[in-house]
Amino acid sequence: MITKFLLATAIICAMGIGSADAQIRKTAKHQHSRIKQGVRSGELTKAETKNLAKDQRVIHQDIKSAKADGSVTGEERKDIRQDQNQASRKIYRKKHNKRDRD
C-alpha cells in the first residue's frame, strides 16, 4: 500500500515539474514574440530592442545553468519565473512609452 502511494506521489511530482518547465519555455517563447511584434509595429526602438534581447539571453542562460545538473530545483524555478515576470513588465513598459522607431 505504501509503495503504491509513493509511486503515485513520484509520478504526480514528475508531471508537475515537467509542466513547470513547459510553462517556463512557453513564457520565453511568448516574450520573444512580443518583442518581435514590437519591432514590426515600430513600438520598440533599436536600443530598446537590444536591451530586451539582452534580458532574454540572460534568462536563457539561467535556464541552461539550472538544467546543467540534470534537474531544476524549486528555488531555481522560482528565480527564473521572477526574472521572466520582471522582463515581461519591462517589455510592456518599453512598448507603451512614447518612443517610436523612426
Q: Would you write out the chain's pLDDT as a tens digit for each of its 102 residues?
A: 565 555 555 555 555 556 778 899 999 999 999 999 999 999 999 999 999 999 999 999 999 999 999 888 999 999 999 999 999 999 999 999 988 776
3-state secondary structure of 47: helix
pLDDT at site 21: 82
pLDDT at site 28: 93
The residue extents of the domains of the chain are 2-95
CA distances from 74 to 12, 14, 17, 77, 86 (A): 15, 12, 9, 5, 18
The answer for residues whose C-beta is within 8 angstroms of residue 21's C-beta and 6 or more apart is 72, 77
Cα distance between residue 60 and residue 4, in whole Å: 38
CA 42, 89, 68: angle at the middle one, nearest 5? 105
pLDDT at site 70: 87
